Amino acid sequence: MPDGAAPVLDVRGLKTVFRTRGGEVHAVNSVSFHLQRGELLGVVGESGSGKSVTMMSLIRLLPEPPAEIRSGQVLLNGTDVLKVSPAELRKIRGAKVGFVFQDPMTSLNPVFTVGNQLMEPLIEHMGMTKAQAETRAAELLALVGIPDARKRLKSYPHQFSGGMRQRVMIAIALACDPDVLIADEPTTALDVTIQAQILELVRDLRHKLGMAIVWITHDLGVIAGIADRVMVMYGGQVVEQAPVKELFANPRHPYTRALLRTIPKLGGQREARLQVIEGQPPILSGEPAACPFRGRCTHAFDRCEKENPARRAIDGKPVGQGHDVACHWTPEGADA
């Protein structure tokens, strides 16, 4: 992508809050990132770090109430998705932004055939006739590697394996050639062989279709193999963001370093036990006024208790353009 090109997706200061009986839960706190056309952004972090809620907030998929998008902008090709009407939003979902949900077992409707579920967005968003939609749906199933595609349009979700259902979910998300594909842990429930097939499929489709992809996962190994940039989230905010090779070679946030230490190593001396991150994720009952990782961080000091660190660039590029980190601590020997 040429330098200076406008991003297809530009998220600025996104804040999402859940109102509960026990008070407010600040699930997403001033998250900002961008996505260029054809780029794959990996989003990593523990469960509860705000990954899925952030991405569902982008196209307002969260139930309102209890969820409330309190502030921010989500610019999709220059249009703020948070300000469009419900009718315009329906045109964006599926047509401009495709979403592959976490669990293919429950995301497909069990009482409709796979063909019906594939054809619906084609008829709704693309204006196709039923015959045209059926032809296109068969092409999509073939594209994602489902054999005997036209015949399988008449099958129900329970007649597919887990890996095939995930392929169907990807086909539905790709049906209208969206500008952005959001994949929320699409390989978590699959065995490693099917996972490898899905990853190879995504690589092929990305190059064939040129779409921008957000890939949410716990698996740093997957991110190392497919992402251009990585965004690390913790406590509902971005704590580090960098090109993938730079992040693995030079992690700057203590949380990122801790995540990388938990990856089992195949070579070298055998560890007595696997590394873990001690402690529990933060309770997000208020807008963060201190570093959310301070209670689990071996480098925390007084300032961490008093001030939530802002993201700062460490490579001379603007925040979001190169390598940036939200941390008061500076590794010994690194630039301040």
pLDDT of residue 208: 79
Percent above pLDDT 90 for the chain: 36
Q: Are 230 and 277 contained in the same domain?
A: yes
d(CA 315, CA 17): 33
| The overall pTM is greater than 0.95 | no
Q: Is 326 exposed, middle or buried (0-12, 13-18, 19+ CB in 10 A)?
A: buried
Write the CB contacts of 80 (distance below 8 Å, at least 6 apart in sequence): 73, 74
Q: Are 238 and 293 contained in the same domain?
A: yes
pLDDT tens sequence across 288-317 = 888 999 988 988 899 999 999 999 998 888
Number of domains the chain contains:
2
Q: Are 261 and 309 contained in the same domain?
A: yes
d(CA 110, CA 159): 10
- At 170, the pLDDT band (50, 70, 90 cuts) reads confident
Q: Are 222 and 309 contained in the same domain?
A: yes
Residue whose entry in the numeric block shows the structure tokens 């040429």: 2
Q: Are 173 and 186 contained in the same domain?
A: no
Question: Is the pLDDT assigned to residue 85 strictly greater than 80?
Answer: yes
Does residue 101 form part of some domain?
Answer: no
pLDDT of residue 218: 84
Q: Are 188 and 169 contained in the same domain?
A: no
CATH number for the domain including 70?
A: 3.40.50.300
pLDDT tens sequence across 232-287 = 999 999 999 999 999 999 999 999 998 888 877 766 666 667 777 787 888 888 78
Strands (E), 207-305: 212-216, 229-234, 237-243
Residue type, 14: L
d(CA 13, CA 125): 30
Q: Are 79 and 112 contained in the same domain?
A: no
Q: Are 224 and 318 contained in the same domain?
A: yes
Residue 224: count of CB within 10 angstroms of its CB: 15
- At 1, the pLDDT band (50, 70, 90 cuts) reads very low
Query: Residue 165 sits in which domain range?
Result: 108-177
Q: Which residue has the higher pLDDT, 264 or 328?
A: 328
pLDDT tens sequence across 53-64 = 999 999 898 888
Q: Are 66 and 189 contained in the same domain?
A: yes
Does residue 314 form part of some domain?
Answer: yes
Q: Are 15 and 112 contained in the same domain?
A: no
Write the CB contacts of 119 (distance below 8 Å, at least 6 apart in sequence): 128, 130, 133, 134, 136, 137
Does residue 230 form part of some domain?
Answer: yes
